[in-house]
């Protein structure tokens, strides 16, 4: 996954370098976990209001592009 101009970033000073959404401490994996468990994007965004909808959608787009399946 290319992280330049990405809605997510990794910084060793933030959650030990875990991939998080830009300007938040919300782990990107959390969105994937929500969706995998059957929750909607709307539920995720309600639970994590600091994440911008556009950032979540862009992250999912990037994740799909990186998926070899």
User: What are the residue ranges spanned by the domains of the chain?
Assistant: 8-66
pLDDT tens by residue, 13-46: 888 888 999 889 999 999 999 999 999 999 999 9
Would you list the DSSP string of 5-63? T-SEE--TTSGGG--EETTS--BHHHHHHHHHTT--HHHHHHH-TTS-HHHHHHHHHHH
Up-side HSE of residue 37: CA atoms within 13 Å toward CB? 9
In contact, 17 and 10? CB cutoff 8 Å: yes
More confident residue, 7 or 43: 43
Q: With respect to CATH, is domain 8-66 assigned 1.10.10.10? A: yes
């Amino acid at each position: 996954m290319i992280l330049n101009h990405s809605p997510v970033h990794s910084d060793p000073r933030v959650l030990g370098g875990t991939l998080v959404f830009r300007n938040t401490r919300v782990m990107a994996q959390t969105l994937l976990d929500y969706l995998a468990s059957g929750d909607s994007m709307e539920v995720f965004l309600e639970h994590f209001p600091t994440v911008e909808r556009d950032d979540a959608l862009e992250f999912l787009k990037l994740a799909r592009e990186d998926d070899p399946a």
